[in-house]
Structures are given as structure tokens and as C-alpha cells.
Amino acid sequence: MKSRTFYILLFSVLGLCLALTVAHFLYVIYAYQHCSIIYFIGKELWL
Amino acid sequence: MKPGKQILSIVLVVAVFAAFNFGMYQLLTRRLSNNFSGATKAQMIDVKSYLPHEEGSDLPELESTLKLTDNLPILDGAAALVPVYAAVIHNVYPEGCVTYQGGTFSDDNFYGENFAEDSAMQYKNTVRGYQAIVDGTTDILFCAGPSEEQKQYAEEQGVELVYVPIGLEGFVFFVNENNPVDNLTAEQIRKIYAAEYTNWAEVGGVNRIINPVTRLKGSGSQTAFEAFMGETEIGHKSPLAVLGASIGFSFRYYMDGIVENEAVKMLSLNSVYPSAENIQNGSYPIVAQFYAIYRADNENENIPVLIDWLLSEEGQTLIEKTGYVRLQQK
């Protein structure tokens, strides 16, 4: 793979992953404000 | 760069993001089942279980001497009090007074339920319920006490509301069942919400950040919580607290009798467990009244009749049968 092609591909993948992560973050912020806190606390991770 | 390393770089980028998002899903996203759609699992309440005059409903039966036949006051209320006012309709109102858009009950719309406009039973919950009572689309609202904003809204609209206490309920704090803390003092809880205590180890628990969770502004439990905090200001918690072990609050019967989520446990307060007995005998320290609320200028003659009945032995027995605590001793 040519260097230029590689960097285009790398930054495209990086951009896509970043966009999906930001979308995940926004969903978490929105859903946290509307979720059932009983369910939220009941599903807490305790190892 | 060699082709092998190029591919490895791309795979590495994807793997890092995937791991991060998986971690966030495990810690947060999977716990965020919402209650803003009737189609989701974690509704505020399963109204279908409390439909009056329906076979298989969970409403208590009572030999009521009061039977209303016409001019039926429209009843509405908070999620936690659906069993109470639905039981009133079930025992006092005639069959056929609860109607649905489209003819049959459905909870598959935005707010969850499809009561028809002329139905004697509605379910708007606290925030929209207060608006409905002020606007005159509901006759009696069953709710916890109003927030300052709700009082102000009524004043702005020039509406006088009458608040009649009809029962008692314990205001409770709860944590995950695996949290080793079983008891807190009221002072400790105030300090947790004031962000003075930020780690469970400071109150006898494990070394883990405390996530003090609050509710929607104007909801019955949030208003009761603000009254509990009094002059103590609610502190700003760290953004990382959301990853910690949470503490939340609610009303006892909503927790214990309606939602019945066994993955959470109610905390004793000042070493007193919030049982129905401890609420009625006054040993549990935070007891809230709940109210039947109506407009002072509402001319429906059955409103005072129904209110008097709710305060009578029969009405108080019904409140007790729905799982709440009666006002007066038998």
C-alpha cells in the first residue's frame, strides 16, 4: 500500500471510530438523564 | 512502512476504540434502560397491572358503601400512586368509566398509555399531572407535595389548589444489593449529596467513589429529597462519580411494592428500616404525606364526597390494602 493511501485509510478509520465513540457518548448523556435510576443502580458492576 | 505493519496499525486503532466503547457499554450503557417509552422494559410503572374493572388486575377489593354513578371526577397522579387511585376507581366508580383511544389498552406510545380524554382514569405522572390539575383537565391529582415551581405555576395561572393529605409514605434511600453499606445517618446522606463525602470508605463502606443520583426536577421524589436536604446545598459531583457505586432515593412502596427490583436494597436510616410499621409508628425519620389535590373552584360535587370517603375508615383501609400507610391509627 502506498504511504499516501495508507494514511488516508488510517485517518478515515480513525475518524469513523471517533464519530461512533462521540455518538455513543451523546447517547449515554441523553439516556442517563432519562433512565430509571432503580434499574441503573441495580445493574451496577460489583466484582 | 511495510504492508504488514500498515494493516496492524489500522487493526490496532479499531481495537483500541472497540475496547473503549465496550468498557463504556459495560460500565454505563447497558444500565441505561430508559423509561420515556412504553415499549421499553423499565417503565415507571406497569399500568396494565392496575387497570380498574379488568380481570387479573392487582387492585384490592373492598365492600365500599360509596358508589358514584355520574359526574365522575377524573383521577390522575404520580407513578407511585397509580395503585391508589386506580383502586378507588375499581371500588367506587362504575364499570366502563375507564376508556382507551382505539378501544383497548395499549402502552406502546411515547408516554406509555392510551387513556381516552373522557376516561375517568388518566396517568400523566407528577410533572404533567400538576399541569393538568392547574389547567383543569384533571379533577383530582394523587401526588406527593408540590415543588416551588409547581406552586408558582398554579399562582401564575391564578389557580388555588387544595391539598388534602390522605396517606403516609416513607422516603427511602437505596443502593445496589452488593454494596456492603446497610445503614446511614441522615447527616451522612446530606454530606454525601453535598459532596463532602465522596468515597464509600468514609461512611463505613468499600473504597469506591460515591455516585449520588438525583431525579427529574419537579418529580415527587426530587421535591421530597430537596425538602430532606433543607438548607444543605446539593454539591457538584465529579464526572467520574458516574462510574462509582450509586445511592438513589424513592418512596418505599414504589421501591418495594411496585418496581420490586431485587438488585437494589433500601437503607436503614439512623438504624431504622423503612418498614410500613416503622413509618406508621413514627420511628422511621423521613415520612412524607401524599395528597389528593383539586382546584378550589372545581364545582364537581363528587370531589368533596370522594375526599371525605378517602379519609373515612373505608378509604383508609383501601389505602392500606394498596400497600401504603394510613393516616390515622385504626
ipTM value, please give it.
0.91
Question: In this predicted model, what pLDDT tens digit does every residue of B118-153 receive, in sequence order?
Answer: 899 998 888 888 999 999 999 999 998 888 888 889
Q: Sorting pLDDT into bands at 50, 70 and 90, what band is B178?
A: very high
Under 8 Å between Cβ of B300 and B139: yes
In the predicted structure, residue B255 carries a pLDDT above the cut 70? yes
Where chain A has pLDDT below 50, the residues are none
Of B29 and B43, the structure prediction assigns the larger pLDDT to: B29
pTM of the full structure: 0.76
Q: Which residues of B touch A42 (CB under 8 A)?
A: 176-177, 261, 263-264
Instruction: Quote the pLDDT of residue A33.
Output: 77
Residue of B119, B111, B133 lying closest to B72 (CA atoms): B119
Task: Please report, as a single letter, which amino acid is at residue B135.
Answer: D
Under 8 Å between Cβ of B18 and A24: no
Instruction: Quote the pLDDT of residue B34.
Output: 55
Of B308 and B106, the structure prediction assigns the larger pLDDT to: B308
Write down how long chain A is.
47
Q: Which of A21, A32, A39 to mutate to test the interface with B (most CBs of B within 10 A)?
A: A39
Instruction: Quote the pLDDT of residue B109.
Output: 59
Instruction: Quote the pLDDT of residue B198.
Output: 96
Under 8 Å between Cβ of A27 and A34: no
Instruction: Quote the pLDDT of residue B72.
Output: 96
Instruction: Quote the pLDDT of residue B91.
Output: 96
Of B100 and B199, the structure prediction assigns the larger pLDDT to: B199
In the predicted structure, residue B35 carries a pLDDT above the cut 70? no
How close is the nearest chain A Cα to the Cα of B148, in Å? 21
Residue of A10, A20, A27, A46 lying closest to B6 (CA atoms): A10
Using CB atoms, which residue from A18, A24, A41 is nearest to B264? A41
In the predicted structure, residue B43 carries a pLDDT above the cut 70? no
Give the integer Cα–Cα distance in Å for B148 and B235.
20
Which chain A residue has its CA at the smallest distance from B27's CA? A45
Contact A10 B31 (CB under 8 A): no
Residue of B92, B138, B91 lying closest to B119 (CA atoms): B138
Residue of B159, B225, B167, B158 lying closest to B192 (CA atoms): B225
Residue of B162, B170, B123 lying closest to B146 (CA atoms): B162
In sign, the C-alpha dihedral spanning B21, B22, B25, B27 is negative
Contact B248 A44 (CB under 8 A): no
Instruction: Quote the pLDDT of residue B38.
Output: 42
Instruction: Quote the pLDDT of residue B44.
Output: 63
Residue showing cell 390522605: B166
Q: Sorting pLDDT into bands at 50, 70 and 90, what band is B57?
A: confident
Q: Sorting pLDDT into bands at 50, 70 and 90, what band is B216?
A: confident
Mean pLDDT of B5-22: 94
Q: Which of B28, B30, B37, B251 to mutate to test the interface with A (most CBs of A within 10 A)?
A: B28
Q: Sorting pLDDT into bands at 50, 70 and 90, what band is B111?
A: low
How close is the nearest chain B Cα to the Cα of A46, in Å? 7
